[in-house]
Structure 1
Amino acid sequence: MSNANIASAQLMMQQLNIHSEMAKGAISITPNPKDLGVHASSFTELMKNKVAAVNADQNASAALITAVDTGQSGDLVGAMVASQKAGLAFSAMIQIRNRLVQAFDEVMKMPI
């Protein structure tokens, strides 16, 4: 058995042990955001950042497509990949928005 296989098996055993301890309740599974290097931000900031990222993807895609259309670039595959990436990001954002609106409607329908 090679060293890579041994290391892989040991890693798998460690992961199984961790999951076993989690199932027993010996290990807490709620991470501390400070340990992950994540700073606490508001939901509004998070949504603004995600919308800005989707917008940046769409702008980059449009620029690549324009460069291909005008003959400045021959990277048709890169332009199409960027276009698909931007489209998927936009679709995901719309689905998230729809779920949020649906959840808000359900909360508003709850009796007080």
Structure 2
Amino acid sequence: MNSISQVQSQMLDRMHELQAASSGMPVRPPVDASAEAGPVQAFTDILRAIDTEQHRASQAVADVDSGKSKDLVGAMVQSQKASLSFAALLQVRNKMSSAFDEIMRMPI
């Protein structure tokens, strides 16, 4: 299984855990992803997964536009998933940027 598939699988597992938590089922404890690979590698994998998701959504919408596919609902769901993933990535980037700014403003 390649790294993008692993990241997608981890994200899907997390989504299922959140669904289970919202329905009252017990949630398993989080797995430390940094133990397997460094944080930089994990972040790179997430970036690649989000990029792949964006490309797949664009291709699905293009296929519907050109008439190659009739799955409009599937294309819109993929588009919304890609949009949500990108929005979450931007929030992480903003948090990291503000944390870096905060560290830089600390007196020595």
Q: TM-score range by the shorter chain?
A: 0.5 to 0.7
Q: Taking CA–CA contacts closer than 8 Å with sequence separation of 6 or more, which of the two structures ends up with the larger relative contact order?
A: 2
Q: If the length of structure 1 is used for normalisation, what is the TM-score?
A: 0.65
Moved over 4 A (4+): 30-33
1:38 is displaced (CA, Å) by 7.5
Name the amino acid aligned to 2:94.
Answer: N
Q: Does 1:58 align with 2:54?
A: yes
Unaligned runs of 5+ in 1: 1-14, 16-29
Unaligned runs of 5+ in 2: 1-25
Q: Does 1:91 align with 2:87?
A: yes
Name the amino acid aligned to 2:106.
Answer: M
Q: 1:94 to 1:32 in 2, by over 3 A?
A: closer
Inter-partner Cα distance in structure 2 for 1:85 and 1:39: 28
Q: Does 1:106 align with 2:102?
A: yes
CA-based RMSD: 2.4
1:106 is displaced (CA, Å) by 0.4
Inter-partner Cα distance in structure 1 for 2:47 and 2:106: 30
Q: If the length of structure 2 is used for normalisation, what is the TM-score?
A: 0.68
Inter-partner Cα distance in structure 2 for 1:101 and 1:38: 20
Identity %: 40
